[in-house]
Structure formats: structure tokens, C-alpha cells
Structure 1
Amino acid sequence: MSAAADLPAVRGRLTPDRPLSDLTWLRVGGPAQWLFQPADHEDLSDFLRSLDASVPVFPMGVGSNLIVRDGGVRGVVIRLGRGFNGIEIGDDGTVRAGAAALDAHVARKAAKAGRDLTFLRTIPGAIGGAVRMNAGCYGTYVADALREVTVIRRDGAIEVLPAPELDLAYRSSRLPEGAVIVEAVFDAPEAAPETLEARMAEQIEKRDASQPTKDRTAGSTFRNPAGFSSTGRADDSHELKAWKVIEAAGLRGARLGGAVMNEKHPNFLTNAGEATAAELETLGEKVRKRVYEHSGLTLEWEIMRVGEPGA
């Protein structure tokens, strides 16, 4: 797959050797062999249907929870934008959001309409990623509100999947192989807009006090090692958190080149300057090794890492 002639015709934008570092929150990584920004559902469906099945495809959100390795990503990276970011409030209490709609925007628009999806307000990223990772905050998770998702399969088929078919669990889901989430429908309880606005303001204040929101991070680096039910709901009686075991191992502020475990919150891997993807990932692996040696616990990555290592 070396030329545009090898790829299906599109109505959106298809760009060869597109750098991805500026599309990720950590600002690292090599290029996509091809970056496809589809115009709409039909454009994406037609492209996937016609694309050679041997060509790898990676759906990329807004890069908020992602390390792209320095060698870049082979195949086609799909990034949804306009045409996939609509937000509609239904009379039946549902909120329909495109996969590219930012979580915070969905929460705010729902609140103005008197619908409670406030748990999304402080989650970085967009709806597609939130569904895929069963994202949650302050004890509420996507699994608690999701009704259904629309996906486009690798063969181009468009399908609506009820939420139970996704097997949503702590920071995970089961989607059909190669499927791209394009839309989600949530059941949002009714509440007074002013109450919801006040709740979101409180959440923002709490987040900013404890997390390095002004630093170059990709959100939480590692999943909490325990204390969650199979549906992803937090067990508030369990105190075992990733940041605590990282700190107990003496790794708050640990550094490798431009990569740092944040001083403010040690479960936030941070690009403190000119870090490479390799430095960030290597530091993360060193943290995992040290935590295991210290406590016997194996931390699992929450940040997705994709692509090829650099030369």
C-alpha cells in the first residue's frame, strides 16, 4: 500500500505520511502511513468495504489517551471529525452523540436541556473513546448510562449494538474486530439545569485541585489495580489506587529524559519538554517493574500504545 491508487476513492480527506504527534495530547509519535478523515457515515462505510482486508486500520479519537510510537502507524488511521460530532437531545430523555463529540461538550449540552450526563464533564477525549474504555468519573461510568452504539464494521456494514452486547467492564469493552464506533445513545436522567451546572463546576474544581490539567499528559497512565466490579462501578470501600502504589514505590517525580511521572499526581505520565514516545513508554514500563518489585502488584496500562518503534 504505497500509493493513493491502491486505496478506495473517498469524499473525505486521505493524507499520506501524516504526522500524528500534533494530534495527540502528549505531542509525540511518528506519522500515519495514511490518515483518513471521512466525510460522513456513508463515506467511512464505503471506504472500509472497498479497502483490502489485509490493510490494518486503527480508529483514532482526539489522542487524549494515546501514545503513538516514534516509528508511526502502518496502514490507515481513521480520525472522525465533522459529520461525527453532532449532539441531539431527545424528548424521551435520551442523548445521541457522535463519536467525535467531546465528552465535556456532551455533558454541557445535556445539562442545559436538564439531562444528567455530568460524569462526562471531566473525562478527557471524545465519546467514541469513552465508550470503548467504559470511561467514568466520580463513581459513574458509561455502562451506567449507555443504551446503544452504532458501529461500522471492517466490511463496511453499519450496525446498532445494544449496550449489553459490549460487555462493558472496568476500562474495557468488547467490540467486533475492526469496528469503528460512530455514534452512541445515552439514557440521561432529568434534573434541574442549575443543579447540573453547579455539580459540574464542583467537579472541575475538584479535578483541577488534584490533577495536572495544565501539563502535557494523556490522563491516567495505569488502571487501578483492584476495587472495581465487573460492570466498572467503583467499590468506594477499597483504597487501592494506582497512584498510591506508584508513590509507595518512590516513583512520584520519576524521570527518563523528557518523560516524568507527574509530581502533582504520580499516575499521570507527562511530557515535560521534548520527550520521545520511547522515553514515555520506557518510563511507564520501569514504573510497572518497580511497583511489582515493591508490592507484588502488576499495573496495567490505561493509555493505549500503538505503532512501530523508532529507528
Structure 2
Amino acid sequence: MTTLTALPPVRGKLTPDAPLAPLVWFKSGGTAQWLFEPKDLADLQDFLAGLAPEVPVMALGLGSNLIVRDGGVPGVVVRLGKAFAKVEKVDETTLNCGGGASGILVSSTARDSGIAGLEFLRSIPGTVGGFVRMNGGAYGREVKDVLIDCDVVIRSGEIATLPLSELGYTYRHSDLVDGCVVVAARFRGHPGEPAAIQAEMDRISAAREASQPLRSKTGGSTFKNPDGGKAWELVDKAGCRGLTLGGAQVSEKHTNFLINTGEATSAEIEALGEEVRRRVKEQSGVELQWEIQRVGRS
């Protein structure tokens, strides 16, 4: 990829032509033109403020719900590290969570703080920044059910606090603009007993382990559930269970998951997804919508 010129100085880490495959669950895809891991909030703000406005910016969390195409991602990919991974109790029912904190850390801190209602975040394989942007959800609950507000650094480097009402949440979607980075969020639960909270987290973990191919190179749920239906049932009825294309496969265990069986390219994974969509449309008339984000150049 062509190197960008005149990038602003940083105090964190800025890596050119950085391989993204090791950072995403599918373990496939190309490089980031630049990968920026800011040292702290001020480092991120200063960098974005000094970056030419035409340079694209994309935030990367744990890379669970993502296909990075083989041609790589132009511009700057921002990855939040430890400085953005703190989770703190604000009051009896509220946590302040950094954008780089995992769902596991958020739910565990909630348990230790006697805050119930956030257990489902244990099962979302991502960071706060990612699931706030995507209105992540599982087991009947979504981020919109527990979010108070979030802090985002916008493309100009300014920070803004956006209440839930301004995020335009729908199913696996928000109105957050491209290029902004979610750096913190406040979640509210309700008082609970740590033992009961842990029991619910254990129940959710066991259910996921039993039904999902968690030990495979996968990207999580591939397609959004259509109104009144389940994506996996439609995929199954279309005869796609175990379907392969190159190194990519529809999971035998859960048909709404695609798997990299070894050395699959991102092009193979995406093409398999499109073939599944085609077969489902032909069989049931339903046009499945991607839930997994697909980014970069083919």
C-alpha cells in the first residue's frame, strides 16, 4: 500500500503496512496502511486533529465481527489498548467503561460491584467501542437496553458525549458517523447478588459453548435475524449446513457462523456468505443482510 505522507506525531505506536489478520477472529485479510495504537486519549485527539481530513479512519476492537478484505484497509486503523480498557463503578448501578474494555471485563466488574443486568455482555466477543457502535446484543438484550451515554472522539479530534437518544439505535446499527472512535461508555444495571450474577453468566457461557463454534476461526453471527425469523434456520433450510468454498465453510454446529478451516482468504469467506444469501433468497424469498462488517479493498 502507498505510504501516507505528513502524518502527525504520536506518543503511542504507529505501524505502516500492519498485518490485520492476526488481530481479527477470521485470521484472514490484508494490511492496514497505518495501524495507530494511541498512548492515551490526548494522543488520539491530537493525532486525529492533525490528520488530513481526507484520510479515512477506522476503529478496530477485538476483530470478532469483521472481514478484512485481502487488499487491506486504506488510511488509518485505530486500535485502543490498555489505556482505554478500564472499567470503574460510578454508583450502585452504573459502570464507566473504556472503549477498549472487553464484554467479559465489563460483566465481571458488574458482578464484583453487585450490578445485575449486564450479564449478557459476557457473551459479546468484542470491546465496548465495537458493541456500542453496533448495538451489540445476545440472549434477548441489546446495548440500547443498558447504555446511558458514550464518549466519542470525532474526526476533528474533538470529544463529544452522546446520550442514548442521539445514537439512532436499531437492530445491530447506530447512527455514529464513520471515522469517529468510541472511547468510553456508561452502562446502567440494577442491584443484584454477585453469586446470582455469576450463575447467569455461567448459564450464558454454557449456552454459547454448546451452540456456537467458539474454538474455530470464525466471525460470530454472519447475518442479521430477519423480522420474525432466525437466520440460521433459513440457512439450514436452504441446504447450506457444512457448505464450503475454498478454505471457508458454513459451520456444521451453527449455520449462522462461517469458519476459516485453515488458510481461507477473506475473498473466499465473503463469497461463501454471498452464496448462502443467494441460496436462501432462492429457497425462501428472504434476503439476508450481513451482520458481519466487511471492510477494505478486495
- Bucket of the pairwise TM-score, normalised by the shorter protein: over 0.9
Residue 283 (structure 1) aligned with residue 272 (structure 2): yes
- After the TM superposition, list the runs of 4 or more consecutive aligned residues in structure 1 that deviate by more than 6 angstroms: none
Quote how far apart the aligned CAs of 1:5 are. Answer: 5.2
Between the aligned residues of both structures, percent identity stands at 52
Distance 1:179 1:141 in 2: 21
- The answer for the alignment partner of 1:188 in structure 2 is 189
Match of 1:260 among 243, 246, 249: 249
Distance 2:226 2:4 in 1: 45
Distance 1:5 1:248 in 2: 51
- The answer for the alignment partner of 1:152 in structure 2 is 153
**Structure 2 regions of 5+ residues with no counterpart?**
none
Residue 246 (structure 1) aligned with residue 235 (structure 2): yes
TM-superposition CA deviations, 1:174-212 (whole Å, max 9, x none):
113421100010112110000000111111111111111
- The answer for the alignment partner of 2:137 in structure 1 is 136
- The answer for the alignment partner of 1:89 in structure 2 is 89
Task: Provide the aligned length of Structure 1 versus Structure 2.
Answer: 297
Q: Secondary structure at the match of 1:291?
A: helix
Quote how far apart the aligned CAs of 1:105 are. Answer: 1.2
TM-superposition CA deviations, 1:212-251 (whole Å, max 9, x none):
1111111000000113xxxxxxxxxxxx100000000000
- The answer for the alignment partner of 2:171 in structure 1 is 170
Residues 73 and 4 (structure 1), Cα distance of their counterparts in 2 relative to 1, 3 Å cut? closer
- The answer for the alignment partner of 2:22 in structure 1 is 22
Quote how far apart the aligned CAs of 1:3 are. Answer: 4.8
Distance 1:204 1:187 in 2: 22
Distance 1:285 1:91 in 2: 46
Distance 2:141 2:5 in 1: 47
Of the structure 1 ranges 4-13 and 106-115, higher mean CA displacement relative to structure 2 is found in 4-13
Distance 2:10 2:288 in 1: 41
Q: Secondary structure at the match of 1:6?
A: coil
Of the structure 1 ranges 77-86 and 145-154, higher mean CA displacement relative to structure 2 is found in 77-86
Match of 2:261 among 272, 276, 282: 272
Quote how far apart the aligned CAs of 1:305 are. Answer: 0.5
Residue 296 (structure 1) aligned with residue 285 (structure 2): yes
- The answer for the alignment partner of 1:201 in structure 2 is 202
> What letter matches 2:232 in structure 1?
W
Distance 1:267 1:176 in 2: 28
Distance 2:82 2:12 in 1: 10
Q: Secondary structure at the match of 2:44?
A: helix
Distance 1:129 1:57 in 2: 14
- The answer for the alignment partner of 1:57 in structure 2 is 57
Relative to the length of structure 1, the TM-score reads: 0.93
Relative to the length of structure 2, the TM-score reads: 0.97
- The answer for the alignment partner of 2:48 in structure 1 is 48
**Structure 1 regions of 5+ residues with no counterpart?**
228-239
- The answer for the alignment partner of 1:76 in structure 2 is 76
Distance 1:135 1:169 in 2: 10
Quote how far apart the aligned CAs of 1:92 are. Answer: 4.1
- Alignment RMSD: 1.2
